[in-house]
Amino acid sequence: MGLRGYVARRLVYAVILLIAALSLNFVIFELMPGDLATQYLNVRGVNSDQLVILIHQWEHGWGLDQPIHIKYLVYLRNMLTWDFGKSMVSLSPVSDAILARIPWTLMLIGLATIFSIVLGIVTGVISAYKRGSALDSGILITALMVGSVPVFWLGLVMIIIFAGGLRWFPASGAYPVEWGIPGNMPVVGAVQNSIVSSSGGLATIFTMGSGALGYFEGIVTHAFLPVFTLSIFLFGGYTLLARATMIDALTEDYIVTARAKGVSETSVLFRHALKNASLPIITAVALAFGFLFSGATITETTFSYPGLGLYIFNSVQLKDFFSMQAIFYIITLMVIIANILADFLYGVIDPRIKYG
């Protein structure tokens, strides 16, 4: 079986896995405790007969009174066609709410993931190279500490220091509060007066007349603390993984041969050892990017950042049925795609791996 057959087989497996995950997702929400109707209906002053009628009308309007097999088929059709229905809370299309939050999550999680991967791999390689030294011990202790600290506690510390104490960055949101006021959004080419965010501080002074620069300043300064917090929290895991794989690679015969040939230590570490030790790292990186659309629920909630993580948190709290189904489906789909891409990258990185 060649590459074409392998791709076809992986795609078939992916479809089967996706249907199984969708089915499990459906069953979980069907078994979810509590009565959705009484949560969303105002039942004060309503007698039992009227309550039964109201609940029946509400469930019929949302299609929740259909037989289980009909609901399952409708659910599969909606998920596979990306017709997620309307939110039970806002009554607006779920797909619109998700699309509005995806850019914020991609920027937050994407930047934090990239920074943490790069920093983690570099520190992991250095730690493996200096194994047993004081530098190695310092890197290990740091990686274990930042990976063990609760991310919400780390976020609160950042807010207290950089937002409350130094007032360098705003404590919450994704853009200045003034942008919600008509006429205050930066317009490219327009000349407006400078305004100061109500949170104060050097980093919250935005020159609105700078156009595109005003957008950049407003968004970056609000994203800095959550990105920095998440990067610190994530990099420890990549450091430990890179160190473990590099220690094994540095004991191989080809490393001794490369050094005997006079290859520089930088090339030995990053071109020879890291390349051959990168398969577990590729898996971790692929899964990290696969979970991009899950958002950083705790981090986004801590900083009130309007991404998918905060959307998931609010949907779970309010039992927004269709919103939760949609976002869990998207997360599942992204993880499956990330795993397939990781399998293909294995063959690119390591020619010894044959598809078949």
Percent of the chain with pLDDT over 90: 8
Confidence (pTM): 0.73
Instruction: Give 2-35 pLDDT, tens digit per residue.
Output: 667 777 888 888 889 989 988 998 888 888 776 6
DSSP 292-353: GGG--HHHHHHTT--SHHHHHHHHHHHT-HHHHHHHHHHHHHHHHHHHHHHHHHHHHH-TT-
DSSP, collapsed to helix, strand or coil, labels residue 123 as helix
Domains, the chain, ordered by start = 3-33+82-349 (1.10.3720.10)
d(CA 158, CA 147): 16
pLDDT value of residue 195: 37
CA dihedral 152, 227, 321, 90 (to 10 degrees): 110
Instruction: Give 49-94 pLDDT, tens digit per residue.
Output: 666 676 677 667 777 778 888 889 988 888 888 888 888 888 888 8
Task: Output b/e per residue, 35-60; b: 16+ Cβ within 10 A.
Answer: ebbeeeeeeeeeeeeeeeebbeebee
Within 10 angstroms of residue 97's Cβ, the number of other Cβ atoms is 22
